[in-house]
Structure 1
């Protein structure tokens, strides 16, 4: 049931696809949440900052999907996948700024290239 809500329902799957496009990564969605975490954790192998940043983005995604699911169930709300993706970008940007102590990165820069903001492409 958990895997369905967070990974395999149509809305969650589309959110993950959009997040992967944003991050320019590609992975097959595994059958369960723990394996998804392990795969996701392996995407940021380039640097410690990237690994930690990807972890924060994963947690922000799970949190946003959870809140969206609850809003649909308890408030009979509709869903716009792009709004959830934008919420994930905003939340992960704020969390990365405060937790990773990355160089100041404006929100539009984060949306454009979060890897750059995490220092991966800087010299």
Structure 2
């Protein structure tokens, strides 16, 4: 979509992950069936009833609705950012390497990368993997 707006002619390209809809930021992160599966599992893991996002900016504001202190909001914000990165990476793996992504693998990437990010970049150096995979806010 961005290339078309810049008058660069390309073949029509439906979403690489779900095969439906035009592949733009809004669809890829909020309207894609594949991404919906990822967000559903990440939401359950973070103890959200649902992650509702109608626009990409909605995703970037989810952490503001988290009950808890500053660190709870930071942890959730980090998880949202890692999830966006993992979805984008899976899209690129499909387009450029022909690898068909799986929702469970993307969620596993989100959990492991966000764990490593938090463990190395915060005061939570003592977090434990077996507790993290059950509830990312267990230490708060």
Hey, what does 2:37 align to over in structure 1? 14
Deviation >6 Å, runs of 4+: none
In the TM superposition, 1:1-123 aligns within 5 A as 1-38=24-61, 40-117=62-139, 119=140
The structure with the larger Rg is 2
Q: Return the TM-score normalized by structure 1.
A: 0.88
Question: What do residues 39-81 of structure 1 show as CA deviations (whole Å, max 9, x unaligned)?
Answer: x122323111100000110111011001000001111111210
Which consecutive unaligned segments of at least 5 residues does structure 1 have?
A: none
RMSD (CA atoms): 1.3
Offset, 1:109: 1.2
More helix by share: 1
Question: What do residues 7-33 of structure 1 show as CA deviations (whole Å, max 9, x unaligned)?
Answer: 211111100000001111123522210
* C-alpha contact (below 8 Å) 2:43/2:51 kept by paired residues: no
Q: Return the TM-score normalized by structure 2.
A: 0.78
Higher relative contact order (CA 8 A, sep 6+): 1
Question: Counterparts of 2:63 and 2:81 in 1: how far apart (Å)?
Answer: 11
Which consecutive unaligned segments of at least 5 residues does structure 2 have?
A: 1-23
Question: Counterparts of 2:90 and 2:138 in 1: how far apart (Å)?
Answer: 29
